[in-house]
Structure 1
Amino acid sequence: MVRMLYVTPALESQDQRVLHEIEDMRRDLKYRLAENHRWDGQLRRQLQARAIQGSNSIEGYHASVEDIESIMSGEEPLETSSRVAREIAGYQQALTYIQLLARASVFRYDVGLMNGLNFMMIGHHSDKTPGVVRPGSIYIRDYDTGEVVYEGPDVELVPGLLDELIAWLNEGDLDAPGYVRAAMAHLNLVKIHPWRDGNGRMSRALQTLVLGRDQITTPEFSSIEEWLGQPQVTLKYYAVLGEVGGRLWSPHGDTLSWVRFCLRAHHLQAQRVARRLAEAGEIWVLLEKQIEADGLNPRAVSALYEVFVNRRLRRTRYQADEVLSQGQAVRDLRDLAAKGWLRPYGETKGRYYAPGPRMAVIKADFAERAEPLRDPYV
């Protein structure tokens, strides 16, 4: 049978070096996560929210991390429109399932799984035949000019291409590094573009699933979706996809530039996650000392950690994290505001807490100390 997919490239010496550095960072991260810390749950939730934010922002669906965390917990977001909230909720459902699949003892890729994930993401768009292979041609247009920048393969080819991709996911290039296989899964799926909508998000989610199945770290710690969602990185992401794939389905070119782009993203995101993990321990210990000196309940540290990493905190989030009654949560947050740690805004359901003057000083200090990430290819 003639191979119809993009072919996994051979890595050069510099790519091998970058790959080894990524694996060392991920291995270190795995060992550090083996120990239980009070902040682990919040850090995992924030990483998942940032992955959801990144992948959806690429498609033009913008929401704050705080609103995404609210949607993840079943709450109404404060700022995000209902239209965008539906996109966020669909993607969160698919990523949650991917987290389960990453740990499943019995697992194989199949077309039904791929269609099911697509339905989870865009099932609210009944006019886009969610979870079903597109019935006709598909074109990707430049948002600004309307120009067609990519035309997917003929619809008659799509079932066979999906079957070949599934066979490769289960049995192909198994000796290739997981990061490389994940990148190639992403590239092939986004170029096949098998559905009427959700193809980009599906391809990024598939990359996360392939990494999760490698058991290096859990999906939220191995995903590069947050990194890809940064505006300047998104531009480079589209550029390298266009460079490798061209304007038409043509799986015959060199794919090394794409794999290299993904390896760089993994390296930089791994640096960022390692920094956040180290920072979490440092800030938690610092806040514990401050809370003790103020005579406040030690559990209130989790509220302060939330506003350290995000812009705001809602009472319901803190209440759920610490398993408190509404009255206990209200009193704790009131005490934190009285001590200058938090500043309340809004009323009733719209009420939230932002960093107060004391927390603002700590946030500024940590921001000033942060060193730039190192580009592994420079």
Structure 2
Amino acid sequence: MLYGTPALDPADKSVLAEIEDMRQDLKYRLAETHRWDGQLRRQLQARAIQGSNAIEGYRAGVEDIQSIMAGEEPLETAQSVVKEIAGYQQALTYVRLLSRAPVFDYDVGVLNALNFMMIGHHVEKTPGVMRPGSIYIRSSVSREVVYEGPDVEHVPALMGELISWLNEGDKDAPSYVRAAMAHFNLVNIHPWRDGNGRMARALQTLVLGRDRIMTPEFCSIEEWLGQQRTTIEYYDVLGAVGGRRWSPHGDTLDWVRFCLRAHHMQAQRVAARLAEAGEIWTYLEEQVDAEGLNTRCVSALYEAFVNRRLRRSRYQADEELSQGQAARDLRDLAAKGWLQPYGETKGRFYQAGPRMARLKAESAERATPLRDPYR
């Protein structure tokens, strides 16, 4: 028996309607191709990877995650964390491909494969194989047991039930609700020795992707969940609804509401970023043109605007330039006060110069606070 899908109240249906309106608006705006689309998608994927791994204590900056995604050496992140990031990126790449696959059914093999991609570097944790025994989740502060997974002999049947439900269950429920319940049931079954939380969050994204709820980069709530305050709320609601051990009874509405709120807040954030991208890119094009610089320099400037750091190799790859061309462009931008270089040779990077810093500050002042849909 799995945790059941709850009935929604009028307030929840209203929030769902608002989420759907924002999704349709994003879909319409993304249908038109823009120069900044690739960088925006890359940033969103990096932030999703950052959020989901931060929940587990694996922390890395967005810029380093983007370097790992590109196969480059990060500047600050420890190698142990690099492996976690790379594994999760591989799994999310597979999620993105599965979301568009013309023929697809959920099965245990797919979930095991995703788990192996995430934690395959931990051979001692038998990645991609169901746990052989009991599992206990302990508080990172007190070390007391806060959750005990179902007995190991029940795990195969529970996973079979979950797979059947993913393929056929509650098809009339809204996709966001089904995705939330897939997350909740998988994380509470806790079928692997490690990676269960990341797997549950990736499954939630996959369910939405299969239901054509935007691409995974735009429908994921992992960035939102990775914020420190939200992470605390995330664990609190998991504990309050799920209890201290597997007990699939009671109301799961509070969990679904938590997820709907996260989707709403993240959708607001993505919409704001998309609008900002168009405004900033257009402004930078005007500045570059007025200063007689090559139009391709806008790509470097936008990267410096959205991120804390820019590397020459990233700009070179984005614009398909030679090393010399990329280096000259960045030197010109630094000379005009847009960028500020730091470091030498392979460790060299660029941060916002005085002009870019002013642009960032002005944009931050214009930002509209996000609205909690349940308040």
SS at match of 2:137: strand
Q: Matched residues in 1 for 2:349 and 2:209: separation?
A: 34
Is structure 2 residue 375 aligned with structure 1 residue 370?
no
Q: CA deviation at 1:216?
A: 2.2
1:283-302 residue pairs with structure 2 within 5 A?
283-302=280-299
Equivalent residue in structure 1 for 2:77, among 75, 80, 88: 80
2:234 corresponds in structure 1 to 237
2:256 corresponds in structure 1 to 259
Percent of matched pairs sharing the same residue: 78
Equivalent residue in structure 2 for 1:315, among 304, 312, 315: 312
1:225 corresponds in structure 2 to 222
The answer on whether the counterparts of 1:137 and 1:152 sit within 8 Å (CA) in structure 2 is yes
Equivalent residue in structure 1 for 2:192, among 171, 186, 195: 195
Is structure 2 residue 269 aligned with structure 1 residue 272?
yes
Is structure 2 residue 45 aligned with structure 1 residue 51?
no
Q: Deviations over 1:167-223 (max 9, x none)?
A: 000000011100000000000000000000000000000000001111121000000
Q: Matched residues in 1 for 2:168 and 2:230: separation?
A: 32
RMSD, aligned α-carbons: 0.4
Q: CA deviation at 1:288?
A: 0.3
Instruction: Report the TM-score, using the length of structure 2 for normalisation.
Output: 1.00
1:102 corresponds in structure 2 to 99
Q: Matched residues in 1 for 2:212 and 2:323: separation?
A: 39
Q: Matched residues in 1 for 2:256 and 2:218: separation?
A: 19
Q: Deviations over 1:300-354 (max 9, x none)?
A: 0010100111001000000000011111100100100000000000011100000
SS at match of 1:343: strand
Instruction: Report the TM-score, using the length of structure 1 for normalisation.
Output: 0.99
Q: CA deviation at 1:31?
A: 0.9
Q: Matched residues in 2 for 1:349 and 1:155: separation?
A: 49
SS at match of 1:262: helix
Q: CA deviation at 1:281?
A: 0.1
Aligned length: 375
1:159 corresponds in structure 2 to 156
Q: Which amino acid aligns with 2:245?
A: L
Q: Matched residues in 2 for 1:303 and 1:211: separation?
A: 33
Q: CA deviation at 1:371?
A: 1.4
SS at match of 1:280: helix
Is structure 2 residue 134 aligned with structure 1 residue 134?
no
1:5-20 residue pairs with structure 2 within 5 A?
5-20=2-17
Q: Matched residues in 2 for 1:102 and 1:45: separation?
A: 17
Q: Matched residues in 2 for 1:250 and 1:259: separation?
A: 17
SS at match of 2:16: helix
Q: Which amino acid aligns with 2:242?
A: G
2:60 corresponds in structure 1 to 63
Q: Matched residues in 2 for 1:97 and 1:194: separation?
A: 20
Is structure 2 residue 343 aligned with structure 1 residue 346?
yes
2:143 corresponds in structure 1 to 146
Q: CA deviation at 1:84?
A: 0.2
Where in structure 1 do 4 or more consecutive aligned residues deviate above 6 Å? none
User: Runs of 5+ in structure 2 lacking a partner?
Assistant: none
Q: Which amino acid aligns with 1:20?
A: A
The answer on whether the counterparts of 1:30 and 1:216 sit within 8 Å (CA) in structure 2 is no
Q: Matched residues in 2 for 1:343 and 1:54: separation?
A: 28
